[in-house]
């Protein structure tokens, strides 16, 4: 019986020591780092309208209720690439975009067939700077 009590005591203390060792050995994960490069693609659909302005009043009579607007719509898409650097909690970077706007539209003034309006958008690009603050680790 004495041996059973000694063996039980040894097993309980060994298990307790191993649990305690696990608790002490737990490592805290490092915070997220926003530094590095990235690339991406984008796609969408756009629409809008453009109103014609005729300061000389040679083409249509705005006072008579004659208006000229062009409704536009179409698909759009592009690519972007950038790079971020992180210093402490501050994140700064640069991004470049290149895309295509397939947005088009046209309209005729019925009373004057030679009055025609058209809108066509195409390739665009931009360069953007970034400055931010990493408030969390996600």
Residue 19 domain-assigned?
Answer: no
116 Cβ neighbours under 8 A, 6+ residues apart = 106, 107, 108, 109
CA-wise closest residue to 95 among 35, 42, 39, 34: 39
How large is the average pLDDT for residues 27-51? 84
* Structural tokens at position 32: 């997220």
Domain holding 73, by residue range, is: 30-133
Q: What is the pTM of this model?
A: 0.56
Residue 10 domain-assigned?
Answer: no
Q: What percent of the chain shows pLDDT beyond 90? A: 36
CA-wise closest residue to 126 among 42, 8, 60: 42
The answer on pLDDT for 4 being more than 50 is no
Average pLDDT, the chain: 75
Residue 86 domain-assigned?
Answer: yes
Alpha carbon 27 to its chain's center: 33
Q: What percent of the chain shows pLDDT beyond 70? A: 57
Residue 74 domain-assigned?
Answer: yes
Residue 63: predicted pLDDT: 58
CA distance 39 to 81: 4
CA distance 15 to 4: 16
- Total count of domains within the chain: 1
Residue 53 domain-assigned?
Answer: yes
How large is the average pLDDT for residues 127-132? 96
**Distance of CA 100 to CAs 61, 84, 108, Å?**
35, 25, 26
Residue 119 domain-assigned?
Answer: yes
The answer on pLDDT for 30 being more than 50 is yes
């Amino acid at each position: 019986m004495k041996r059973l009590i000694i063996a039980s005591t040894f097993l309980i203390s060994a298990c307790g020591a191993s649990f305690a060792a696990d608790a002490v050995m737990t490592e805290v994960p490092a915070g997220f780092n926003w530094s590095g490069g990235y690339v991406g693609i984008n796609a969408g659909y756009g629409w809008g309208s453009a109103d014609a302005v005729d300061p000389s009043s040679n083409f249509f009579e705005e006072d008579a209720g004659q208006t000229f607007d062009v409704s536009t719509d179409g698909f759009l898409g592009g690519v972007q690439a950038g790079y971020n650097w992180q210093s402490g909690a501050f994140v700064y970077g640069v991004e470049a975009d290149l895309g295509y706007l397939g947005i088009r539209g046209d309209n005729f003034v019925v009373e004057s067939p030679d009055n025609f309006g058209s809108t066509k958008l195409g390739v665009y690009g931009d360069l953007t700077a970034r400055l931010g603050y990493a408030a969390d680790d996600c």
